[in-house]
Amino acid sequence: MNDGKQLDRRSFLGLITWFIGGSIGAGYSIPAIAYIVGPAARKEEDQAWLRLGAASKVELGTPTLFKIKVERQTGWITNEKELSVYVLTENGRDFVAMSNICTHLGCRVRWIASQDQFFCPCHNAAFSKNGEVIDGPPPRPLNQYQVKEEDGQLFVLGG
């Protein structure tokens, strides 16, 4: 009557032990793998429009500094950084937004109204009010952001 295909008690208990152990292992490893791989598999978020402030704050012909706090999430870590942007308008309708970071070594530039130019203290670099290099070692003009005005508020793309 025993055709050799029946499980004896020892084989059955071994099979059940492997099944329970495998279930417990899968229960822990699937969430662990999702935790490790999840940030890399997540689609990169599109850049968002960041609100700077009121467009009326910008004086005609004078770059105006706006500072905003931006939260960035890299994987599981959230960082908060301050973004500083100079905004210039000559007619009150068309705006240019420029970074306040020098393109040479990443120092912060500041607007010197008496000289009508931006000054970088790292290597005495100078930029025009449009961000073009006037003097010094910077390889290119100040970086610019896309800017828009909606309902009297200024927004820049990205950050």
Given this model, what pLDDT does residue 88 score? 92
Res 45 pLDDT > 70:
no
Residue range 27-44, pLDDT digits in tens: 999 888 888 887 676 655
Residue range 102-135, pLDDT digits in tens: 988 889 999 999 999 999 988 889 999 888 999 8
Given this model, what pLDDT does residue 117 score? 92
The share of the chain scoring above pLDDT 70, in percent, equals 91
Site of tokens 């229960």: 27
Q: Note the CATH number of domain 49-157.
A: 2.102.10.10
Q: Which residue pairs, CB below 8 angstroms and at least 24 apart, start in 107-110?
A: 108/84, 109/142
Measure the CA angle with vertex 147, ends 138 and 102; round to 5°.
Answer: 15
- Return all residues near 72 (Cβ < 8 A) that are at least 6 apart: 78, 79, 80, 81
Across the chain, what does the average pLDDT equal?
Answer: 85
Distance CA 153, CA 68 (A): 14
- Domain boundaries along the sequence of the chain: 1-42, 49-157
Q: How many CB atoms lie within 10 A of CB 103?
A: 20
Helix (H, G, I), strand (E, B) or coil at 9: helix
Q: Which of 57, 70, 40 is CA-nearest to residue 154?
A: 57
**C-alpha separations of 107 from 18, 27, 102, 125 in Å:** 61, 50, 5, 10
Residue type, 81: K
- pLDDT class of 79 with cuts at 50, 70, 90: confident
Which of 33-47, 55-69, 135-149 is predicted with the least confidence, judged by mean pLDDT?
A: 33-47
Residue type, 139: P
Q: How many CB atoms lie within 10 A of CB 119?
A: 17
- pLDDT class of 76 with cuts at 50, 70, 90: confident
Q: What pTM value is reported for the model?
A: 0.67
Given this model, what pLDDT does residue 157 score? 86
Res 17 pLDDT > 90:
yes
